[in-house]
Amino acid sequence: MSGKLALVIGLLVGFLVTGAAALVGLKLAKDEFDSRVLSEKEAAYHKGLQEGTRTAASLLDEAALKSLRDENAALRKRIEELEKK
């Protein structure tokens, strides 16, 4: 009877140790996954920030160019008016 009891206790201890090791392994895997996901999110954020900055700069350049063209057209019109007088 004591041999069977020792066997049962040994099996229970083995299951507990195996379960604990599995939980530790799962936690390590989750931490690794979380850090990988975090680094991917950070990389995507920086890429989006760079693209947004480029887009904003491009829009500002276009707005400045349009403003200069409008000013140039207004000055040409004013010159023509002055030449007619």
Q: What are 5-63's pLDDT values in tens digits?
A: 888 898 899 999 999 999 999 999 999 999 999 999 999 999 999 999 999 999 999 99
Which amino acid is located at 53 in the chain?
T
pLDDT computed for residue 5 by the predictor: 84
Q: What is the CA radius of gyration of the chain?
A: 36
Q: Is the pLDDT of residue 1 over 70?
A: no
Q: Which of 36, 55, 59 is nearest to 47 (CA)?
A: 55
For residues 22-56, one letter each, b for 16 or more C-beta atoms within 10 angstroms of the residue's C-beta and e for the rest, the string is eeeeeeeeeeeeeeeeeeeeeeeeeeeeeeeeeee
- Tokens 């299951």 locate to 15
Confidence label for 85 from pLDDT (cuts 50, 70 and 90): confident
